Each structure stands twice: as C-alpha cells, then as structure tokens.
C-alpha cells in the first residue's frame, strides 16, 4: 500500500536542526543519485543564469541562491517542510497515533532533489522542480525514473497505489503490476485539486482498514463527496473526487 504525493512549491524553512544526512533518508539505494543532483543544484544556484536554469522568476532568485547552502542548512521532517495546500489539507500532525503510523508506512513524497521521501525524512527547504534544467544532468523526471523503479516497485508490492501526484512528478515513476494503481483526479482549479487530494490522502490514513481495491478506496471517502470510479481505464484506474464546497479537514 502506497499513497504517492507531490512535493509543494511552498516550503517551511527550518530555523534550527541538524544538517542533511543522506545516509539517514529512506530508500538508501537512491543515495548516489541524490548526491549528484544535490551537487548539480548547489553549483547551478551560484550561476548568473540560475533563475533561468531553475525555471523561476527574478523575484524568486533569493530562494534559488539559498540552494547553495543545502549541505549545511537545518533540516526538519519532510511533512513539516512541505507547506502547500495539499499538506495543509493532509495536516499530518493532527492525525491520531494510529493514523500517523499508517501515514509513515504508506506516504511517499516525490521530490526533484531526493527522488522519493517518507514523511519522517529530515530535509532542508530547497527550490527545485522537475522542470529545472541542471547543467550536466538529463531531464530530472527521466533521470529519476530508472532509479526509482526498483525501490518503489518493492515498496508497492502487490498492494494498492493511490496516486495523488500530478504533472512531471507523475512521470518520474509508474507503478507496475502486480500493484493496483489508482489515479486520483479532481475537476476544477489547481488549488481545489491540491486541497482535495490532500483530503483523500488524509482519509486513507485515518481509516482503520487497509483498502486493497479501487472500490475499497472509493467506499472509504467521507460522506458527501462526489465520486466517480473507472476501473477499465489503462494503465491506472481513475478515481474522480470533488470535495463539497467549504470542506474542512476531516
């Protein structure tokens, strides 16, 4: 059982804490590639054309420049560093103890810098998306795709994979049989889609059972949601959700 999440553009910058320890992160098989991507990120952050390489506006140049200190910057849990709409809906800190344990086992966060993370992995705030073009490296989603296949295929096993990613992060790894892959899709504005996906991830972690089929996943969602399920779509089943207007974190 896995729940796949994207990172967030918004990140909470830790003010204290130990520096990054790559050997302590989940999915240790990724350590070598993580070192390469971090080194390329640090180097690119010091270039005069850094904003172009990172695909950001001049107003975000300061955030890019802080990438130069990734090795010494303080770290915090990934689920506290990521601070976007999806993570505010997920609100992992307010889950009860059993739900937090399930979240720790099931949640996997995609990352352009680290490949894949678990919620408790300690990371610094950083500025890097899958769309960045780091000198000396290929396109990042393609770079991670090969490296992620073994660790994430093993983590998924034969269980359900609830995919709340979007865009280029979804391209970095595709679940393979015998895993049961379900894409969570949300009509409407991007902000609403992120919020609804966060609520789906929270609902799965808060539920005491383990969904094993797309139908199980649809059945456990909070009452009042509009749910459409297409299990015939390929390569993944499609679960369409629409949180009721004014939804709060359940």
The answer to which of 108-112, 216-220, 243-247 has the lowest mean pLDDT is 243-247
Total domains in the chain come to 1
Residue 46 lies in a domain: yes
For residue 63, CA distances in Å to 68, 129, 194, 202, 216 come to 10, 13, 23, 29, 42
Q: What percent of the chain has pLDDT over 90?
A: 86
pLDDT band at 223 (very low <50, low <70, confident <90, very high): confident
Tokens for 37, please give them: 């991507």
Q: Where are the beta strands (DSSP E) in 41-159?
A: 76-77, 107-111, 115-117, 122-123
pLDDT of 239 over the 80 cut: yes
pLDDT digits (tens, 9 = 90+) for 177-204: 888 999 999 987 688 899 999 999 999 9
- The pLDDT score that the predictor gives to residue 59 is 86
Alpha-carbon torsion angle 78, 54, 135, 36, nearest 10:
0
Print the domain residue range for 54.
2-242
Specify whether the CB–CB gap between 113 and 34 falls below 8 A.
yes
Residue 247 within a domain: no
Q: Quote the CA–CA distance of 225 and 218 in Å, as a whole number.
A: 10
Calculate mean pLDDT across residues 159-179.
93
pLDDT of residue 250: 44
User: pTM of the entire structure?
Assistant: 0.95
Sequence-separated (6 or more) residues with CB below 8 Å from residue 238: 182, 183, 185, 228, 229, 230
Q: Distance between CA atoms of 172 and 209, rounded to whole angstroms? A: 29
pLDDT at 142: 96
Note whether residue 79 is domain-resident. yes
Q: Is residue 249 part of a domain?
A: no
In angstroms, rounded to a whole number, what is the distance separating the alpha carbons of residues 133 and 47? 13
**Domain for residue 248, yes or no?**
no
């Amino acid at each position: 059982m896995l729940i796949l999440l994207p990172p967030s553009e918004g990140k909470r910058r830790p003010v204290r804490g130990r520096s990054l320890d790559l050997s302590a992160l989940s999915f240790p098989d990724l350590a070598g590639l993580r070192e390469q991507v971090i080194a390329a990120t640090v180097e690119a952050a010091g270039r005069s054309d850094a904003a172009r390489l990172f695909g950001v506006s001049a107003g975000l140049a300061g955030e890019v420049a802080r990438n130069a200190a990734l090795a010494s910057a303080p770290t915090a849990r990934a689920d506290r560093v990521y601070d976007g709409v999806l993570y505010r809906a997920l609100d992992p800190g307010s889950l009860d103890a059993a739900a937090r344990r399930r979240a720790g086992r099931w949640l996997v966060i995609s990352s352009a810098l680290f490949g894949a993370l678990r919620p408790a992995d300690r990371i610094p705030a950083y500025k890097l998306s899958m769309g960045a073009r780091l000198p000396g490296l290929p396109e990042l989603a393609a770079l991670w795709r090969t490296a992620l296949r073994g660790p994430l295929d093993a983590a998924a096993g034969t269980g359900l994979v609830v995919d709340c990613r979007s865009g280029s992060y979804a391209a970095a790894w595709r679940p393979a049989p015998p895993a049961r892959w379900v894409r969570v899709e949300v009509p409407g504005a991007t902000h609403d889609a992120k919020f609804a996906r966060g609520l789906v991830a929270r609902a799965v972690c808060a539920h005491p059972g383990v969904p094993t089929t797309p139908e199980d996943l649809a059945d456990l969602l909070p009452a009042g949601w509009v749910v459409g399920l297409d299990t015939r779509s390929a390569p993944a089943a499609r679960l369409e959700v629409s949180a009721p207007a004014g939804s709060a974190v359940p």
